[in-house]
Amino acid sequence: MAVVVVGGHSRNIGKTSVVASLIARLPEFHWTAFKITQYGHGFCTADGAPCDCQTDDHTIAISAERDPNTGTDSARFLAAGAVRSLWVRTRQGILAEAMPRIRKEIAAAENAILESNSVMQFLRPDLYLTVLDQGTADFKDSARLYLDRADAVLLRESGLKLEPRWTGVAGKLIEDKPRFVIGPPDYMSDAVVEFVRKALVSSQELIR
């Protein structure tokens, strides 16, 4: 069983598309997919709507996607061919409380792929891919914290001609890592697919 984590330094840079494309291009892995969302204060984990409640019922929510046509990220994973797709929502800072359920779902999966940076605090995946856009200045602390653990960097082609706008990010953390260019519509390339396939096959052979 292989575990892949896909993260990135900001919103709307293609992370979900990368996960969906890997699911679609590597169907032989029979993926269980996870979308992990952490909400700040004032938003309900049940649906992301504004919420003033502080009850335990509203700090963690995990649901299995049933309909591939709803337009949500977890639905996109299901539509791409995931055997199972789960949406995990927690309040900021309490992802640890959801980890027992996440680990249970991973253990029951043939192979798992998770969209998240923060889950790297609790997992040692077989492969960690990080999506970066040199034209987007925002850089999440969670992405910065685990940047050195990335096995490969996926660079958005739209930002390639720009100097990185990130501040406080040491370039040496990624200078020796494999780099792949991705872009719309699917934010994927044959080179990325083959890199992932070979890495996972190799890790499974080592286990045997």
Q: What is the pTM of this model?
A: 0.90
Mean of the pLDDT values across residues 84-103? 95
Mean of the pLDDT values across residues 57-66? 85
Q: In this predicted model, which residue has the larger pLDDT, 49 or 68?
A: 68
Q: Is the pLDDT of residue 45 over 70?
A: no
Q: φ and ψ at 80, to 5 degrees? A: -75, -15
pLDDT at 170: 87
Q: What average pLDDT is seen over the chain? A: 90
Q: Per residue in 137-156, pLDDT tens?
A: 999 999 999 999 999 999 99
116: DSSP letter:
-
- Please state, in angstroms and rounded to a whole number, the distance separating the CA atoms of residues 56 and 150: 34
CATH code of the domain in which 106 resides: 3.40.50
Q: Is the pLDDT of residue 200 over 80?
A: yes
Residues 6+ apart with CB under 8 A from 54: none
Mean of the pLDDT values across residues 39-59? 52
Chain Cα centroid distance, residue 128: 9
Domain count, the chain: 1
Is there a contact between 105 and 83 (Cβ–Cβ < 8 Å)?
no
pLDDT at 43: 43
Task: State which residues form the domain around 73.
Answer: 3-207
